[in-house]
Amino acid sequence: MARGVQVASDVALNWTTAQKRDPRTFRVGQRLEFHRAVKGIAKNEFLDVVRVEEQRVIARNSRGKERILTGKQAKSFGVYERRMIEVAAGDKLLLTANRNEPALHTTNGEIATVAAVNDKGGIRLEDGRELPADFGRFAYGYAVTADRSQGKSVDSVIISADGMQKELFYVAASRGREAVQVITSDKELLCDSVGRSAARQSASELARKVRPGLRQGLHRGVAAARGLASYASRHEEPLEQRPVWQLDTKRQPRMEHRYEHGIER
């Protein structure tokens, strides 16, 4: 068995923008990855939090230079915690970052196999790529969510869930070429949830759920309106002539007559 080496893995905290604007939420040792370049910080650059002050956060880059962060940059970075995991040759890793650089190209969600790990934490993949020790954007790739499994095919799939909507269950189950095994602690709950769709419903579908009699009521209303129109057409008769005054071109009044018809009440 290959010797395992402790390497650093960055776990996303998935903070909201409001959380990142509040310096009180930060802790020393957390990592900030900038997915958008800002003044003094390049895209995809990592910084480590070294101090937290009342209105700002101080972070240090890999070159040892400190940068001052305020709420203005909150939409430009993600917050991560660094944890140590053991990695050895033959392990499957889930890469969780997109990189398109001359020295490294990775795609978020891809599964890679480890070929070797050096003592400094650098990882060489079987396809020849080298993950530097400070890369950090990976996790074990033996289990993934149904969303991340899209586009992948394997010989066998194990689905572990107590509740999953129809579309996600189809995605997960269709990944296996030869076998699918489902593990659950509540079979009835899983079957019930798989029967529900996550597709967006139309306004009329939602209305029928809220008011089941709405459709029948609309039909009754239309039928009543048609009955009234039919009755009116059978009992229509002229009313008395009514005078209508108009002015001619010589500004002299004259009386004209016209017939008006209505529905007798």
Run of H or E including 158: strand 154-160
Per-residue pLDDT for 263 more than 50? no
**8-state DSSP, 257:** E
Transcribe 53-73 into DSSP letters: -SS-EEEE-TTS-EEEE-GGG
Is the pTM value of this prediction over 0.75? no
At 180-224, the pLDDT tens digits run 999 999 888 988 888 888 777 677 766 666 665 555 666 676 677
**8-state DSSP, 24:** G
- What pLDDT, on a 0 to 100 scale, did the predictor assign at position 94? 94
Closest CA to 24 of 53, 58, 49: 53
Residue 18: pLDDT band (50, 70, 90) is very high
CA 117 to chain centroid = 35
What is the C-alpha radius of gyration for the chain, rounded to an integer number of angstroms?
35
Residue 85: pLDDT band (50, 70, 90) is very high
Rounded Cα distance between 84 and 33, Å, is: 18
3-state helix, strand, coil in the chain (%, to 5): 20, 35, 40
At 135-178, the pLDDT tens digits run 999 999 988 888 888 878 888 889 988 888 888 888 888 888 89
Average pLDDT over residues 125-134: 93
